[in-house]
């Protein structure tokens, strides 16, 4: 888009807006990236935003004009300075990398972009003193030296490398996952020389492509444990008893979670980010007022956390020491202090670009935003045609090639002069619409210089995400993970039966060091210790975790028990299979509709997807399409954790059905989901002649009647609705596909109506934690099943805290979320006292807008509240467990659960799945009363939920739930006994 900047610079004197006597410029938001890009040509600038999200957005917009190499991004921690949580290793590495770039600022980088939160937090002064580790093939470095350097740089030594910041050593091989790399790297040594470097996949630990160039290894922590830090830690441990535990471990060289909260006491000195910038740099605030108020909120919340974190540390009693003096150096500075430092100490320029202004502001009035077209393509075509007739320069920018191709086709069909351009590097000519791709959010129009920029977001009204296409998701993961096993866990070996896992050991056979799982079986001789087998880690496909009844009997190696148990289970499965085959035959002999192969439009729709598909998503989409193209009805269930992109599979399947002139019904359990799916489907089908309607109580009677008429006449292609769609009066003229979302939530009578449909139309069901019965049915083959286990990129596991309830902790957690413009779910599961809980929250956080939702409200009122929360009209939703049901509020990323000890396991998992659905780090607090002892069962459940925090653990939790409750029964087959004999996994095989 640099060419458009050149057009603006030649038509307007942009420099006058940066004159010395002007400090506050007001313009439409879509012009800001062009103004900033112009300023960066003559000045080093720092762009300051009120939030991390805004910083990322403005960075992608400026990158569309100047390219990525012009920009340095400096992210803020996602934790507060005094919180006992460490920032993520990739955040730390990005920050350190940015500081090195600033120190050696040669070349193109002219723009530093940071949220205000990063500017007001001081940095450890020695942060850039550790030289970076750079490795390439043929370099010589001793293995022991490399290991000690990695340990010093806060990398964690593990058996298997799975997370950023891990490393492992096996013989002459070092595996390492540097925080800024997409995949971990395997370094192969020959003596002390690096012979080969290759990327490998976390899921199966296999290498797949060579690593080319220099591997740059950055520290994983900002505070590294030097001798000086150890000495200070020892002194702190003896001076302050409540810090003894954490400081003793630091003094021994161990990196402790949350040690950054003591950074100002452990390091020699702290200094601000601005001290790394050259004199004469200009600071430009985007929306100064929001930056100012955000700083005030941050300072207040940080102080609350300082008190909450350390009062908790002293078991509820206030700490006897004044930690403010001890840790004050690490706390946020105020807006005034920041401004004073930048102008007095560094003589930086200071100005702002705002959306609104006062009497003293300078307005750039000729640039106006577009009115949103809300998908009305006829109006877009008419406006474009009109602008061309009047001699305007017209640019249409889309986020992906698929959408750009789609708009190009629409304009060609409408006889509008149009051409495609990959990127606009120099000033374009005014001979027709130019369609291009870029990451610009919105466009503008200027009637004085006759220039129009219009984006896909202007046309559709909203856009999904900022996902970039370069990311390669991790591979599928199916086998047992030895690191998830604890000593004493029961496992099943296909050949030898049920045994007890003992440990993971290394053995040297003929010079090759390999890792083995040690499994103990019953002793073959009475009075002797158990027999053990060693299973190499590359032979793990034979071993599964035991999921069944209570503690099982351990088998003897070579004994007959295991063979008998297997044959009993096999016989039971055969009997059930006979029943299933009859059902299956009935289905496959029923005449169905064979959909045709993908059309060019299908490819355009799929190219316009704003995320990168995960491998599981792609394979599931292929499986669904293959089923649809067969001549008998499809019956497939897709299991995937909450927010793993199941909706996109439905979007593509529905589109495929409509291409063949069929209608589609999407069945969802709640009216809120009707609204959410309606928004998603409408957004994805922007630019295509497809009519989508939502049948719900939020429509007027007249609107619903029009929708029913449209379905009967065939003018509506896709209808989304609740079980109202199953009523007798709903007639769909040519139904080809039924999509059932959250299938486990429909009642028996609805399932019966669905069953009748199954024999004649294609049915695609979707579920997050499959209820054990569905799990069993799918795996025994009544229905085809696809699973999605890879999280979308940009998603992080939910940080889960289990502990006693404490008002300070609750207040601080809510404030932390409100500071990043987020929302909070507060679960109080007793309707009679929910108003009291809400009133208490109003006294703790008076500034928050609080709403109440529970199942005893009448349905319309309930849905209005939840819809208002979805539309961000409230900050906190105090509710009962009704939210476990598929409510997708991407902006709500903190969850607090009162009396978590009273909940079931899959309930806790479903509830936790409500947060962490966007790229923000999410927090879940499971709280129990201080004064009531926990039952063993509650303890077991809370322990499980705090250990299974990995993304995609829904299936694991469903299996654990099966284990805690015992397996159910299917088609009357007495199978729970057999499952207990051989374990769930093997039984299903």
- The per-residue b/e assignment along 100-133, b for 16 or more CB within 10 angstroms, e otherwise, is bbbeebeeebbbbbbbbbbbbbbbbebbbeeeeb
Q: Where are the beta strands (DSSP E) in 541-672?
A: 543-545, 635-640, 663-667
Quickly list DSSP for 11-37. Answer: HS-GGGGG-TT--EEE--GGGHHHHHH
- The per-residue b/e assignment along 520-531, b for 16 or more CB within 10 angstroms, e otherwise, is bbbeeeeeeebb
Residue whose pair of structure tokens reads 């029009």 in the numeric block: 706
- Taking only the tens place, the pLDDT of each residue in 220-265 is 999 999 999 999 999 988 888 878 888 999 999 999 888 888 888 8
| Average pLDDT over every residue of 831-841 | 93
- Report the pLDDT value the prediction gives residue 65, as an integer from 0 to 100: 92
- Taking only the tens place, the pLDDT of each residue in 37-77 is 999 988 889 999 998 889 999 999 999 999 888 899 999 98
Tell me what percent of the residues of the chain surpass a pLDDT of 90.
26
Token pair recorded at residue 495: 């050949």
Q: Are 48 and 19 in contact (CB under 8 A)?
A: no
Stretch among 112-116, 287-291, 870-874, 981-985 having the lowest mean pLDDT = 981-985
Give the residue among 316, 209, 299, 227 at the shortest CA–CA distance from 267.
227
Confidence of residue 962 (pLDDT cuts 50, 70, 90): very low
Confidence of residue 32 (pLDDT cuts 50, 70, 90): very high
**What's the whole-number average pLDDT of the chain?**
81
Is pTM beyond 0.85? Reply is: no
- Report the pLDDT value the prediction gives residue 63, as an integer from 0 to 100: 92
Give the residue among 156, 52, 149, 37 at the shortest CA–CA distance from 95.
52
Higher pLDDT, 14 or 571: 14
- Report the pLDDT value the prediction gives residue 316, as an integer from 0 to 100: 41
Q: Are 482 and 160 in contact (CB under 8 A)?
A: yes
Partnered with residue 456 across adjacent β-strands are: none
* Position 968 pLDDT exceeds 50: no
Confidence of residue 658 (pLDDT cuts 50, 70, 90): very high
Confidence of residue 552 (pLDDT cuts 50, 70, 90): confident
Q: Is 201 helix (H, G, I), strand (E, B) or coil?
A: coil
User: For residues 797 and 956, what is the distance between their CA atoms, to the nearest angstrom?
Assistant: 15
Burial class (CB in 10 A: 0-12, 13-18, 19+), 895: buried
Tell me what percent of the residues of the chain surpass a pLDDT of 70.
82
User: For residues 27 and 20, what is the distance between their CA atoms, to the nearest angstrom?
Assistant: 18
- The per-residue b/e assignment along 790-822, b for 16 or more CB within 10 angstroms, e otherwise, is bbbbebbbbbbbbeebbebbbbbbbbbbbbbbb
Domains and their CATH numbers in the chain: 2-127+252-363 (3.40.50.300), 133-217 (3.30.2060.10), 388-460 (3.40.50.11140), 478-546 (2.40.10.170), 590-788 (3.40.50.300), 799-950 (3.40.50.300)
Listed ranges 310-314, 480-484, 841-845; the one with the highest mean pLDDT: 841-845
Quickly list DSSP for 61-83. Answer: HHHHHH-GGGEEE-PPPSS-TTS
User: For residues 372 and 665, what is the distance between their CA atoms, to the nearest angstrom?
Assistant: 28
- Taking only the tens place, the pLDDT of each residue in 476-525 is 334 566 666 778 888 888 888 889 888 888 777 666 667 788 899 888 77
- Taking only the tens place, the pLDDT of each residue in 875-920 is 999 998 776 665 678 788 899 999 888 887 767 777 887 787 776 7
- Taking only the tens place, the pLDDT of each residue in 625-637 is 999 998 888 888 8
Stretch among 198-212, 461-475, 821-835 having the lowest mean pLDDT = 461-475
Stretch among 80-84, 167-171, 278-282, 355-359 having the lowest mean pLDDT = 80-84
């Amino acid at each position: 888009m640099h060419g458009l900047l050149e057009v603006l610079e030649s038509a307007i004197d942009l420099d006058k807006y940066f004159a010395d006597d002007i400090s506050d410029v007001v313009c439409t938001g879509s012009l800001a990236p062009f103004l900033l890009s112009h300023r960066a040509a003559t000045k080093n600038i720092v762009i300051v935003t009120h939030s991390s999200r805004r910083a990322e957005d403005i960075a992608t917009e400026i990158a569309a004009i100047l390219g990525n190499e012009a920009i340095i991004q400096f992210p803020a921690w996602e934790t507060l300075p005094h919180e006992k949580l460490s920032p993520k290793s990739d955040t730390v590495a990005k920050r350190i990398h940015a500081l090195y770039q600033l120190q050696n600022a040669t070349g193109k980088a002219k723009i530093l972009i940071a949220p205000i939160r990063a500017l007001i937090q001081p940095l450890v002064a020695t942060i850039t003193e550790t030289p970076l580790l750079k490795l390439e093939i043929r370099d010589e470095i001793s293995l022991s030296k490399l290991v000690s350097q990695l340990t010093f740089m806060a990398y964690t030594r593990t058996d298997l490398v799975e997370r950023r910041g891990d490393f492992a050593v096996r013989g002459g091989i070092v595996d390492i996952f540097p925080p800024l790399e997409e995949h971990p790297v395997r370094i192969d040594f020959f003596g002390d020389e690096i012979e080969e470097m290759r990327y490998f996949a976390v899921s199966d630990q296999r290498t797949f492509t060579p690593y080319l160039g220099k591997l740059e290894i950055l520290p994983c922590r900002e505070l590294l444990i030097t001798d000086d830090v150890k000495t200070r830690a020892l002194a702190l441990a003896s001076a302050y008893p409540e810090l003894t535990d954490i400081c003793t471990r630091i003094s021994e060289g161990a990196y402790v979670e949350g040690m950054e909260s003591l950074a100002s006491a452990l390091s020699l000195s702290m200094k601000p980010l601005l001290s790394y910038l050259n004199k004469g740099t200009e600071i430009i605030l985007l929306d100064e007022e929001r930056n100012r108020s955000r700083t005030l909120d941050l300072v207040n919340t940080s102080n609350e956390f300082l008190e909450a974190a350390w009062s908790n540390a002293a078991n509820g009693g206030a700490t006897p020491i004044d930690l403010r003096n001890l840790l004050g150096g690490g706390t946020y500075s105020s807006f005034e202090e920041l401004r004073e430092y930048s102008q007095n100490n560094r003589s930086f320029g200071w100005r702002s670009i705002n959306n609104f202004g006062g009497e003293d502001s300078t307005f750039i009035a000729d640039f106006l935003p577009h009115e949103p077209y809300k998908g009305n393509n006829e109006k877009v075509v008419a406006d474009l045609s009109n602008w061309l007739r009047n001699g305007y320069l017209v640019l249409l920018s889309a986020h992906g090639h698929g959408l750009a191709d789609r708009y190009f086709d629409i304009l060609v069909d409408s006889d509008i002069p149009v051409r495609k351009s990959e990127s606009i590097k120099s000033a374009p000519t005014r001979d027709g619409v130019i369609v291009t791709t870029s990451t610009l959010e919105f466009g503008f129009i200027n009637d004085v210089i006759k220039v129009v920029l219009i984006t896909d977001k202007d046309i559709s009204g909203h856009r999904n995400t900022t996902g970039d296409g370069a990311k390669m998701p991790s591979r599928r993961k199916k086998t047992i993970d030895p690191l998830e096993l604890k000593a004493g866990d029961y496992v099943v070996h296909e050949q030898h039966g049920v045994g007890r896992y003992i440990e993971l050991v290394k053995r040297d056979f003929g010079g090759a060091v390999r890792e083995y799982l040690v499994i103990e079986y019953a002793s073959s001789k009475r009075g002797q210790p158990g027999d053990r087998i060693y299973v190499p880690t590359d032979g793990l496909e034979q071993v599964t975790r035991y999921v069944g009844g209570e503690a099982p009997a351990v088998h003897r190696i070579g004994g007959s028990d295991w063979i008998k148990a297997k044959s009993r289970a096999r016989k039971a499965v055969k009997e059930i299979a006979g029943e299933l085959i009859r059902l299956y035959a009935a289905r496959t002999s029923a005449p169905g509709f064979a959909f045709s192969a993908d059309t060019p439009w299908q490819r355009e729709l799929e190219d316009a997807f704003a995320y990168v598909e995960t491998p599981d998503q792609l394979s599931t989409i292929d499986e669904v399409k293959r089923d649809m193209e067969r001549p008998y009805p499809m019956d497939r269930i897709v299991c995937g954790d909450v927010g793993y992109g199941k909706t996109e599979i439905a979007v593509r399947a529905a589109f495929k059905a409509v291409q063949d002139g069929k209608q589609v019904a999407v069945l969802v359990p709640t009216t809120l989901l009707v609204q959410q799916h309606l928004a998603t489907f409408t957004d994805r089908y922007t630019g295509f002649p497809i009519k989508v309607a939502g049948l719900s109580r939020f429509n007027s009677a007249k609107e619903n009647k029009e929708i029913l008429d449209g379905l009967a006449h065939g003018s509506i292609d896709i209808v989304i609705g609740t079980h109202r769609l199953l009523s007798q009066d709903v007639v769909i003229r040519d139904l080809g596909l039924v999509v059932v979302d959250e299938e486990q939530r429909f009642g028996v009578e609805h399932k019966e109506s669905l069953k009748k449909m199954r024999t004649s139309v294609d049915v695609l069901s979707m579920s997050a934690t499959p209820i054990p019965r569905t799990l069993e049915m799918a795996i025994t083959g009544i229905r085809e099943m696809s699973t999605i286990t890879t999280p979308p990129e940009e998603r992080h596991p939910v940080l889960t805290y289990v502990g006693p309830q404490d008002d300070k902790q609750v207040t601080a957690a809510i404030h932390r979320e409100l500071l990043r413009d987020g929302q909070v779910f507060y679960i109080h599961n007793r309707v009679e006292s929910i108003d009291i809980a809400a009133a208490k929250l109003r006294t703790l956080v008076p500034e928050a807008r609080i709403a109440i939702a529970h199942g005893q409200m009448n349905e319309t009122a309930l849905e209005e509240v939840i819809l208002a929360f979805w539309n961000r009209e409230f900050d906190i939703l105090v509710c009962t467990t009704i939210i476990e049901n598929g409510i997708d509020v991407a902006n709500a990323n903190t969850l607090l659960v009162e009396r978590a000890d009273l909940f079931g396991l899959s309930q806790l998992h479903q509830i936790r799945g409500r947060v962490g659905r966007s790229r923000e780090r999410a927090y879940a607090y499971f709280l129990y009363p201080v004064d009531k002892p926990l039952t063993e069962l509650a303890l077991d459940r809370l322990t499980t939920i705090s250990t299974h925090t990995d993304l995609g653990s829904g299936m694991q939790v469903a299996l654990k739930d099966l284990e805690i409750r015992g397996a159910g029964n299917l088609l009357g087959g007495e199978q729970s006994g057999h499952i207990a004999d051989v374990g769930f996994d093997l039984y299903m095989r």
